[in-house]
Amino acid sequence: MELNFKKAGHDYYEPVRFTPFSCETMRESIVPDSCADIARIVDTTGLVCLTNRELTGDGRFCASGSVDVSVLYIPEKEEGVRSLHFQIPFQCYGEGQADAECEFLDIRGELHSIDTRVLNPRKVLTRANLTLHPAGCRHVSLSVCTGVEDGEGVQLLREQRQTRVAAGVREKEFTFTEELPLSPGRGGAEEILSTRVDVRGTDSKLIGSKLVVKGIISACVLYREAGGRLALLQQELPFSQIIEGGGFDEDCESEAAYRLLSCECRQGSESAPDDAYVLTMTLMLCTRVTVWRTEEICFIADLYSTSAPVECQTAELSLSEDSQRGVRRQNVRELLETGVAVRSVVDTAIRCGGVQSSGGELKLPMWARCLYLDENDVPGAVSREFTVTLPAEAAGAGEDAECQAEAACHGDIIANIMPEGIELRFPIECAMSTSVRRRYVCVSGGETADEEEERAAVPSLILRKMGPGETLWSIAKQYRATREGILTVNDLTGEEQITPEKLLLIPRARA
């Protein structure tokens, strides 16, 4: 006879990450007629603006957008540094994801390298290499057996587990505009040479039916003053946004991530467009908020009947457990060899790539760049790619753990001029999320069978010890007794009182 099970439904999302994929894009650019011929390239920088991402019909990931490029160069027959600004569009695909189920797709773009070479004094070729990191959520719908209706003599071994799951994702695009005043004691901005921005979240809360997110934009603008001197403006700009968060419980947690859609920095303000002592920065951003909750899942790990044999059907239940989040900090020192004597450092930048978890360690790919003036006040640039490793105890992940991490440099960068070049000292923060993927066997169905003839030959009382690896449940199931009955006849209150030497009296269950 088929058993009638009580069932509980669970609907949620769990995060899933995919293999990063690469993209190369390039462009030939003409120097405008208003600019002098190029004598030498000093440096090239770029901002990745990822405007569209989708999962195509054949299961591939598609990412598109542009790289906003600034090329610093020395012009012929003129003094000082000039800049070319242009965009390189890109559209690239990640292969081999045809069998992936994914909702709330997100792709983070990372500029791996960028360089420019002169084709002739009026034309340059710029090549940018990107690494794109896709991620999303997989919908999970569980129907789990939790009990049996009208199951006479049925004994249940229930287990309860907690898993941290995504309740949903919300996104919102918004515009951020800020006027940045320059120091009145210096020359005003004659030309903006390059712009760099870093967006990070500082807080995310669910208040009523609204998600309130806060963050900081670290803005860095390199410009040429009216007198030709290079100057750097650095500011941290706070922002906040309110997003519709209906449908989530107030005890849910949330975390926000940000994606740059466009960036513009111009001289002047809205009221004074020609003011050389004010820069106006306008960003288009997309905030993506993931809302998390704790899901309690109760299931039947095993069952039997004292009155009849039972044939069970089972299924595997995979849960992410023991979720932990934390931030690891480490100070880094790196030497960038210039090959020439350095008089002063104009600008420094640190970029962190996608963190890789391997062998209990976290490997952080990093890029350092310096813009400097040599002893003759001639500008130059030096860059270096290297890897920072966090030790196993800092990684917080064993072989059976899933670890996701993202690193960034949010502190001051100290540049010391050395005989060999420029020594950089800076802090990095690595935000980590670890969990353990555990798999359980749970009962998904069952039915009782006819009594075996051999059952009548089983003695009514058994006297035995508990063997290695046995539990009170396994013994009771073997003899179709009950755990409560065994404890009662042996004058015990709990399984912890049973020692390997103790003889247990096991009463035969009544048919």
Q: What is the DSSP string of 55-102?
A: E-TTS-EEEEEEEEEEEEEEETT--S-EEEEEEEEEEEEE-S-TT---
Is the pLDDT higher at 58 or at 180?
Answer: 180
Token pair recorded at residue 332: 């880094």
% of the chain at pLDDT higher than 90: 69
pLDDT in tens, 464-484: 999 898 999 999 998 889 999
Q: Is the pLDDT of residue 324 over 90?
A: no
Across the range 164-188, mean pLDDT stands at: 93
Is there a contact between 204 and 168 (Cβ–Cβ < 8 Å)? no
Mean pLDDT of 324-330: 88
Looking at residues 6-21, what average pLDDT do you find?
91
Confidence of residue 99 (pLDDT cuts 50, 70, 90): low
The mean pLDDT value of the chain amounts to 90
8 Å CB contact between 475 and 506: yes
Average pLDDT estimate for 168-180: 96
Verdict on whether the full-model pTM lies above 0.85: yes
Q: Is 383 exposed, middle or buried (0-12, 13-18, 19+ CB in 10 A)?
A: middle
pLDDT tens, position by position, 397-430: 455 677 888 899 988 999 999 999 999 999 999 9
Mean pLDDT of 209-235: 94
**15 in helix, strand or coil?**
strand
Give pLDDT, residue 394: 47
Least confident of 45-54, 347-356, 424-433, 502-511: 502-511
Of the pLDDT bands very low, low, confident and very high (cuts 50, 70, 90), residue 396 is very low
pLDDT tens-digit series, residues 136-160: 898 999 999 999 987 778 999 999 9
Taken in order 495, 497, 498, 502, the sign of the CA dihedral is negative
What is the predicted pLDDT for the residue at 78?
Answer: 84
Summarize the confidence of residues 85-98 as an average pLDDT: 84
With b for 16 or more beta-carbon neighbours within 10 A and e for fewer, the 409-439 pattern comes to: bbeebebeeeeebbebebbbbbbbbbbeeee
24-38 residue pLDDT tens = 999 999 999 988 899
- In the Cβ-directed half-sphere of 319, how many Cα atoms lie within 13 Å? 22
Query: Could you tell me the pLDDT band of residue 489, with boundaries at 50, 70 and 90?
Result: very high
Listed range (87-96, 239-248, 333-342, 417-426) with the worst mean pLDDT: 87-96
Mean pLDDT to the nearest integer, 189-204: 95
In 10 A of CB 82, how many CB atoms?
Answer: 18
**Coil, strand or helix at 457:** helix
Position 455 scores a pLDDT of 54
Strands 210-225 and 189-207: antiparallel
CA distances from 372 to 69, 394, 415, 417, 420 (A): 20, 35, 11, 10, 14
In DSSP terms, 63 is beta-bridged to 53, 92
> What is the rounded distance in angstroms from the CA atom of residue 271 to the CA atom of residue 288?
33
Q: How confident is the model at residue 1 (pLDDT cuts 50, 70, 90)?
A: confident
Contact 135, 166 (CB under 8 A): no
